[in-house]
Amino acid sequence: MDKLKFIITVIMLANLSLSAQSNKILFVMSAEDTIPLNNGQKLRQTGVFLNEFYLAYKSVTEAGYTVDFATPNGMVATIDEESTNDTYWKNNLEIKNKALTFTQSDSSFNSPITLEEAIKTKTEYLGLVIPGGQGLMVDLAKDKHIPVLLKYFAKAHKPTGLICHAPSLILTIPKAENPYIGFKVNSVSPIEEFVIERFIMKGKPENRKIAKGLRKMGLKYRRGLPKSNFAIKDRNLVTSQNPFSGRAFNKRYLQALTEYLERMPVGN
Give the DSSP per-residue string, 156-209.
Answer: TT--EEEETTGGGGGGGS-GGG-TTTT-EE--S-HHHHHHIIIIII-S-BSS--
Positive or negative, the CA dihedral 226, 228, 232, 237 is positive
Residue-level pLDDT at 21: 55
Residue-level pLDDT at 13: 36
Greater confidence (7 vs 180) lies with 180
Instruction: Give the residue among 237, 72, 108 at the shortest CA–CA distance from 163.
Output: 237
**What percent of the chain is predicted at pLDDT more than 70?**
91
Residue 267, pLDDT above cutoff 60: no
Specify the pTM: 0.91
Residue-level pLDDT at 264: 80
Q: What is the 3-state secondary structure (H, E, C) of 197-229?
A: HHHHHCCCECCCCHHHHHHHHCCEECCCCCCCC
pLDDT band (50, 70, 90) for residue 2: low
pLDDT band (50, 70, 90) for residue 215: very high
| pLDDT tens per residue across span 6-60 | 434 433 433 433 344 579 999 999 999 999 999 999 999 999 999 999 999 999 9
Mean pLDDT of the chain: 92
Instruction: Give the residue among 192, 131, 191 at the shortest CA–CA distance from 166.
Output: 131
- Lowest mean per-residue pLDDT among 69-78, 87-96, 231-240: 87-96
pLDDT band (50, 70, 90) for residue 265: low
φ, ψ for residue 160, nearest 5 deg: -125, 120
Residue-level pLDDT at 11: 36
- Are 164 and 245 a contacting pair, CB within 8 Å? yes
Element (H, E) at 46: none
- Are 57 and 112 a contacting pair, CB within 8 Å? no
For residue 210, give every residue at least 6 positions away whose Cβ sits within 8 Å of its Cβ, in sequence order, or none.
Answer: 165, 167, 168, 171, 187, 188, 193
**What percent of the chain is predicted at pLDDT more than 90?**
88
